[in-house]
Amino acid sequence: MIKFILNNQSVETALPKGTTVLDFVRYHKNLKGTKIGCREGDCGACTILVGELAGEKLKYRTMTSCLMPISNADGKHIVTVEGINRDDGGLTPVQSAMVETSGTQCGFCTVGFVMSLTNFCIDDTPKTNEAAISAIDGNICRCTGYKSIERAALSLCGTAARRNGDAEIHSAIGNEIVPEYFANIKERLSEILNSRFQIANSSNRNPEPGIQNPKFLSGGTDLYVQRPEEMVYADTENLFDSAALRFINETDEFIELGASVVVTDLLESDVFNRLFPNLYKHLKLVSSTPIRNMATLAGNFVNASPIGDMTAWFLALDAEIELSDARSSTRTLPLKDFYLGYKQLAKREDEFISKIRFRKDFTHFNFEKVCKRTYLDIASVNTAISLKMSGDVIEHAHVSAGGVFATPLYLRKTSEFLKGKEISAETIAQANEIIQTEISPIPDVRGSAEYKRLLLRQLFTAHFVELFKANIQ
């Protein structure tokens, strides 16, 4: 039985656990404020807030309910617009701002924006103009041209920053961003989780050794796009909420990550911000806020899309992955050896990625991505590079590229070539020649083969312009 809090109501449901939260709230709970725009996480009309206990802290993030199975809502607080509406028919400051700036025209996308901006007002990020706009980076509007919505978002920075010394949620209640009932959610979620813990212990449940070919599900951001109908009834083992898979550790040599770490976890990680000075700028290029809140690293790896952004990223770190199965036997292999062919993985069906690790001995890292739309789009070509420099000499290099081969591509020859070289226009040009021999792009909706070849040449060059202000005249 899946149990969670929907707005101010505790709900239990025996519906198929793959049912999307979107269908659940609209068609089973008749909460029609959450709209269906695309069912693939690309429009944000169905954006909801998801509150989750992380230790002592209740943390809210936005998610697109169209890609979220109710099983991933288990033990959480799911908030739709009905859950933030004032009972007296009045407007919250977020709603008022949208009205005052004429940020709503046809209204169909509006609730998604309201939810995203509400989250902006209750989360613990600094209330900068940049963060306000960033909060709505997953919401598409076809009517307004966004300028009015921008004005609404910017006008909220002041309100959102008012803290009165309280914890976020109490400040938000004080500011009338959310209703009073939010004050008790933390306790109510604890109760659900505690009862869950007792059941789990009393039933003496062990992993069934006989299970063959279990299907694993984490954030759902690829599976629910690719096969939404099948996923409703799929018998999946959900990895998304497994605490054992949600960690970022630093050792002397390595960074180790649980496989269900989501992209936002990286953004919020001190370690990552230290190791990757342009982390925000680069991860902003990866999908949108709600998707980054759901999309796990392992999910990106096993999806094996030739243009997976995080795959390109970790290939350039020469990361290793640990694969586990139900018997908890594990093995480790380099990510670059994980890809055998188009959507073919060096993985048994009963194995799942449990851990990711990479050496932190690189001195330089860069990520480049170009698509039709700079943000919230899939790359035409992406590429990442990590370098360990010793003075002017490249001690080692790892270069990856996406969108130019049947799999995410680690550029072996190019990486090898760069070893021991000094950075110069000539080195870059020679490396670019090698790259062209390592790739075989195919034409598709994201560009012709010639374009992808040219684009990778440019983006590889861009790495050096970004990292070394290389003169490429």
Partner 1 sequence: MKNVDSKSHVRGESVYLDDVPLLQGTLFACVYDSPIAHGKLKNVDISEAEKADGVVRVITAKDLIGENQIGGILPDEPLLADEEVHFCGMPVALVLAETEEQAHAAAKLIKAEIDPLEIVTDEREAQAKNELIAPPKHFRLGDAEKAFATCEHVFEGRADVNGQEHLYIETQGAYTIPTEQGGLKIYSSTQGPTAVQRAVSRVTAIPMHQIEVDVTRLGGGFGGKEDQANAWSALCAVATQLTKKPVKYALHRMEDMRMTGKRHPYSADYRIGLDKDLKIVAYQAKFYQNAGAACDLSLPVLERTLFHCTNSYFIPNVSATAYSCKTNLPPNTAFRGFGGPQGMFVIESAIAHAAEKLGVSKNEIQRKNLIRSGDEFPYGQIAESEAEASWTQADQQYDFAKLQAEADEFNTQNKFVKKGIALMPICFGISFTKTPMNQARSLVHVYTDGSVAVSTGAVEMGQGVNTKIAQVAAKIFSQPIERIKVHTTNTLRIANTSPTAASAAADLNGRATQMACETILERLKAVAQEMLKDGAYRVESSNGNAAGKPSEGGTQSGVSFENGFVFYNGEPTSLDWLLVVNEAYNSRVNLSEHAHYATQGINFDWSIAKGHPFAYHVYGTAIVGVTVDCLRGIYEVDYVKCCHDFGTSMNTSVDFGQIEGGIVQGLGWMTMEEVFYDSDGRLRSNALSTYKIPDVYSVPKEIAILPLETSRENLAVFNSKAVGEPPLMYGIGAYFAIREAVKAFNKQNFVKFDAPFTPEKVLMNLYSEISG
Residue ranges in 334-373 that form contacts with partner 1 under rule CB under 8 A: 368, 370-373
List the interface residues with partner 1, window 372-401 (CB under 8 A).
372-378, 380
Least separation in angstroms between CB 168 and partner 1? 22
Q: How far apart are CA 124 and CA 73, in angstroms?
A: 22
Least separation in angstroms between CB 379 and partner 1? 11
Q: How far apart are CA 166 and CA 180, in angstroms?
A: 14
Q: Which is nearer to partner 1, 38 or 193 (CB)?
A: 38
Sheet holding 409-410, edge to edge: 364-370, 381-390, 393-402, 409-410
Q: Which is nearer to partner 1, 205 or 469 (CB)?
A: 469
Q: Which of 11, 53, 131, 143 binds partner 1 (CB under 8 A)?
A: 143
List the interface residues with partner 1, window 98-137 (CB under 8 A).
98-100, 102, 104-111, 114, 133, 136-137
Q: Which is nearer to partner 1, 34 or 414 (CB)?
A: 34
Q: Which is nearer to partner 1, 34 or 324 (CB)?
A: 34
DSSP per residue over 19-68, as a string?
A: SBHHHIIIIIS--TTSPPS-SSSSS-TTEEEEEEEETTEEEEEEEEGGG-
149 near partner 1 (CB under 8 A) = yes
Q: Which stretch binds partner 1 (CB under 8 A): 176-184, 225-233, 357-365, 420-428?
A: 225-233
Here the tokens at position 427 are 């080195």
Helix (H, G, I), strand (E, B) or coil at 153: helix
Site string for partner 1, 36-65 (x = CB under 8 A): xxxxx-xx-x--------------------
Q: Which is nearer to partner 1, 375 or 468 (CB)?
A: 375
Size of residue set near partner 1 by CB under 8 A: 78
Q: How far apart are CA 173 and CA 378, in angstroms?
A: 38
Q: Which of 33, 299, 306, 308 binds partner 1 (CB under 8 A)?
A: 33
Q: Which of 131, 154, 406, 454 binds partner 1 (CB under 8 A)?
A: 454
DSSP per residue over 212-249, as a string?
A: -SPEEESS-TTHHHH-HHHHHH--EEE-TT-GGG--EE
Dihedral sign, Cα of residue 158, residue 159, residue 161, residue 163: positive
Q: Which is nearer to partner 1, 58 or 98 (CB)?
A: 98
Q: Which of 157, 183, 225, 248 binds partner 1 (CB under 8 A)?
A: 225
Q: Which stretch binds partner 1 (CB under 8 A): 5-13, 51-59, 96-104, 186-194?
A: 96-104
Dihedral sign, Cα of residue 226, residue 455, residue 335, residue 287: negative
Q: Which is nearer to partner 1, 130 or 416 (CB)?
A: 130
Q: Which is nearer to partner 1, 133 or 275 (CB)?
A: 133
Q: How far apart are CA 19 and CA 17, in angstroms?
A: 5
Nearest to 305 by CA among 339, 265, 259: 339
Least separation in angstroms between CB 451 and partner 1? 5
- Contact by Cβ (8 Å): 248, 264: no
Cα-only R_g, the chain? 23
> What's the N-to-C CA distance of the chain in angstroms?
64
